[in-house]
Amino acid sequence: MNWIQWLEFINNITAPFGFLLTIFTFLLARATRKKLEKTEEITLFNAERAQYLSKLDGIKTVIDESENRKDIIPEKIITNTLKLISELENNYPCLFKHDKITAVALKDIKALKDKTKIPLVEFLDPFNRLYSMFTNRKEIK
């Protein structure tokens, strides 16, 4: 066996390992890229959290003034909440569309969008979930 045959033999053994290593590297790079995007969005979101929290505080003040839980929510409140959700999804797509905790909070409020009259009782739970996401720093990781 000369040295060229020996090199071919070694190449035939190691080539599949190199191929698998290449695939693994691409998968790892893709996962790392997604994690970096999410980390960047979390950092930016934490910097702008106070702005969104002040908007939600305004909505919460109007909701808290209602004494009857069966009252209908004013359309302007629903519109402002949906605008805020749309803004969040556009500014932080990785964080609010792919993260399970945040996506559920937004999905519940968006489900109310098609209704013409929404009682306070139906609006409170989804809104409080969204509000707690901004006030509780442990939720977004």
Which residues 6+ apart lie within 8 Å of 25 measured at CB? none
Which of residues 107 and 19 earns the better pLDDT score?
19
- In this prediction, what percent of the chain has a pLDDT beyond 70? 96
Q: What is the pLDDT of residues 51-84, one digit of tens each?
A: 988 999 998 998 888 878 788 888 888 888 889 9
Please state the domain extents for the chain.
3-135
| pLDDT bracket for residue 139 (50, 70, 90) | very low
Choose among 128, 136, 133, 130: nearest CA to 64. Answer: 128
Do residues 123 and 112 make contact, with C-beta atoms less than 8 angstroms apart? yes
Which residues 6+ apart lie within 8 Å of 1 measured at CB? 9
Choose among 85, 98, 79, 84: nearest CA to 39. Answer: 98
Bridge partners for 119 per DSSP: 72
| pLDDT bracket for residue 50 (50, 70, 90) | confident
In this structure, what DSSP letter does residue 71 have?
S
